[in-house]
A and B are shown apart, each in its own frame.
Chain A
Amino acid sequence: MDTLKLAGRSLLPFLVALPVLWIAEGSLADSKSAQIILMAAGINVILAVSLNVVNGFTGQFSIGHAGFMAVGAYTAAKIIVATRGLQLVGLPPAVSDQVLFFLALLAGMITAAGAGLLVGMPSLRLRGDYLAIVTLGFNEIIRVIIENTPFLGQATGISGLPRRTTLVWVGMGVVATLVMARRLVGSTHGRALLAIREDEVAAEAMGVDTVGYKVRAFVISSAFAGLAGGLLVHLIQLCTPRSFTFVKSIEVVVMVVLGGMGSVTGSVVSALVLSFALEGLREAQQYRMVLYSILLIVLMLTRPTGIFGTREIWDMLPRLKRRRAEGGAQ
């Protein structure tokens, strides 16, 4: 019974989201630009929430998220290119394409998770700013490697990818990320992460395997970054190292910091707000980065923990909060 309940709790969001996404996609069928903006925003939500697992829950400061995105993106893109024209036995072409896309995204997540493990194992023994620098360095190393590997198309990248990313795919990715984040926080694992954030030395003294938990959080976070990368390159139909620079990593960091380090809903809201706001500023690319940096400085000076802090949105609405508290009491 319990396992059934558990499975239901995990599957329900997907089952609810799927028809909603289908309807959304159908109703937006004529407006390509609205679809693209929504998909871009959704990808940003995946990135922000997954980075929040490391930066917000665990309190480790990683600024190399774009590196893991790149790993996932290149894996997915290479698989899609390699299987072009291939049709799975017994499936109609349209379905076969979708299944292959799913497998490519999955492979991207796995390689990104592997990269996360590779970087996380040694570097998560470091603390604070050192970890930031190492993740930044890793991001740059990935870029240098891609730019020097003919197999990955060097600086020009892989072009002519089919547009496989749809609103439904992005939506399901968002739901998967949210379910992961919410269920993680409530679990033993999540509590250990929060303990590490509050005081690493004390957590260690209480018997929490800090390095182990940090590495696991890092791996999960990079897997979802890889998913976002795979979705992104099949949206813009182009995979170049320029999409995965340090600047991209910082954009995600800004989303997490703005929303509140440790608040899932905060990350979602800030990712959406920033995506839509910046869509309006697309004309003025240069001003956009200046605004970003001013936002970051002002935010840190006035609200160092972000707008929501470690609270979720429902903690901020008094009525909802009371109801939840009463529910807990019963």
Chain B
Amino acid sequence: MTEFLQHLVNGLSVGTIYALIALGYTMVYGVLKLINFAHGDVYMVGAFSGLYLARGLGVDEHPSLWKALVVFVGSMVICGALGVIIERFAYRPLRQRPRLTALITAIGVSFLLEYGFQLPPAIGSSVPFPPGPTPRFFPEPFPRVDFEPFGVHVSNYDMVSLATAVALMFALQFVVYRTRFGTAMRAVSFDAGVAGLMGINVNRVIAWTFALGSGLAAAAALLVAGSRPTINPLMGLLPGIKAFVAAVFGGIGNVPGAMVGGLVLGLAEEFVAGYALSSYRDGIAFAMLILVLLVRPAGLFGRVRAEKV
């Protein structure tokens, strides 16, 4: 029973992270019909910008809560800006082209971030950037406290991260379904052409969607960096792909679907790896993906649309 609860806790904490990243995928897919392959790498950039911000503020020597908050919000803003830049220069020029063209560009952007960050630091700059391939440790903003209710191992980091993730998801839910911007976003995702005719600035809506999704990815990265403190330039690869699986599972383009998909994937991974096949952890997501696409290609909450010639 204790083991079961432990897996449940771990699964939930991994699942919320997947859900946060999946939200970025699903929103971008909703408005652009594009798999933003670089999303996992934006997540990685989030972790590194957090690291640089934390160093700049001296979190190592004098940790404090407000510094943690500045690091958190700061890297969300940096990643949001990065998302907008990527959209502006890599995806917008290709919007009228076949979707595969944009997909290949997205792969290119993803590789550029991954391998660009692995380059040795530029000579002469005071901040060692790019960081290079060696893993870095993320400083702890506040002391770690462990609890053991019912024999289940939980730390205050887990609780803060869970609470933050849930709060961010509710905030997003509010933005998408209760604000003018959210209405515009849903209109663009329904039909960009008609939305433009109705006076919605489509370009601006898409740019903000990228900013929002990338910010959430940065938040996810910092929540992960808190509990598993090593970060490296390739850290975004697997979580990125898994989060995409989560988004497809819930029906891509569907915001609540991404949350459910993330949680289901996190729990499935944790339980299968915990009870049966620990070394197959990374394969589970793909097996799940293939199953979902075979049984319900539109995802759990998705609707099948007829294709027009």
> Do A and B associate with each other?
yes
A interface residues, Cβ below 8 angstroms from B: 59, 61, 63, 122-123, 125-126, 128-130, 132-134, 136-138, 140-141, 144-145, 147-148, 199, 201-202, 205, 250, 253, 257, 286-287, 289-290, 292-297, 300-301, 304
Bound together, the chains give a CA A304 to CA B95 distance in angstroms of 12
Taking CB atoms, residues of chain A closer than 8 Å to B118 are 286
- A126 near B293 with CB under 8 A, answer yes
Most chain A beta-carbon contacts within 10 A, residue among B103, B107, B307, B309: B107
Does B286 reach chain A (CB closer than 8 Å)?
A: yes
Q: A129-B103, A133-B35, A201-B307 are known contacts. Are A297 and B112 too (CB-CB below 8 A)?
A: yes
Q: Is B57 an interface residue (CB 8 A)?
A: no
Enumerate chain A residues within 8 angstroms of B9, measured Cβ to Cβ: none
> Can you report 21 A-B residue pairs in the complex whose CB atoms are below 8 A from each other?
A59-B100, A61-B103, A122-B293, A128-B99, A133-B244, A134-B289, A134-B293, A137-B286, A144-B280, A147-B279, A201-B308, A201-B309, A253-B104, A257-B104, A286-B115, A286-B133, A289-B111, A297-B112, A300-B102, A304-B97, A304-B98
**Chain B 21-58: CB-based contact to A (< 8 A → 1; otherwise 0):** 00000000000001100000000000000000000000
Known: A128-B99, A199-B309, A289-B111. A134 touches B290 (CB 8 A): yes
Residue of A nearest to B93 (CB): A301
Q: Are A301 and B286 touching (Cβ within 8 A)?
A: no
Would you give the shortest CB distance from A133 to chain B, in whole angstroms? 7
Q: Which residue of B lies closest to A200 (CB)?
A: B307
> For residue A301, which residues in chain B have a CB less than 8 angstroms away from its CB?
90, 93-94, 105
Per the bound structure, the CA–CA distance linking A136 and B105 in Å amounts to 16
Inter-chain contacts of A122 with B (CB < 8 A) = 290, 293-294
B38 to chain A, nearest CB (A): 10
Q: A140-B286, A201-B309 are in contact. Are A296 and B119 (CB under 8 A)?
A: no
Residues of B within 8 A of A (CB): 34-35, 90, 93-94, 97-105, 107-112, 114-116, 118-120, 133, 241, 244-245, 248, 279-280, 282-283, 285-287, 289-290, 293-294, 297, 307-309
Neighbouring B residues of A126 by C-beta, 8 Å: 293, 297
Q: Beyond A296-B107, A301-B105, A304-B101: 15 further Cβ-contacts under 8 Å?
A: A61-B103, A129-B99, A130-B248, A133-B244, A134-B290, A137-B245, A140-B241, A144-B280, A144-B283, A257-B104, A286-B133, A289-B114, A290-B112, A290-B119, A297-B109
Report the separation of the CA atoms of residues A126 and B252 in the bound assembly, to the nearest whole angstrom.
Answer: 14
- In the complex, what distance in Å separates the CA atom of A321 from the CA atom of B93? 34
Q: Are B283 and A145 in contact (CB under 8 A)?
A: yes
State the main secondary structure of chain A at its contact with B.
Answer: helix
Q: List chain B residues, Cβ under 8 A from A123.
A: 290, 293
User: Considering the chains assembled together, what is the distance between the CA atoms of A297 and B103 in angstroms?
Assistant: 10
Taking CB atoms, residues of chain A closer than 8 Å to B308 are 201
> With contacts A293-B108, A296-B104 known, is A202 near B35, CB below 8 A?
no
A148 to B100, CA, bound (A): 33
Alpha-carbon separation in the docked complex, A136 to B104 (Å): 13
A296: chain B residues at CB < 8 Å are 104-105, 107-108, 111
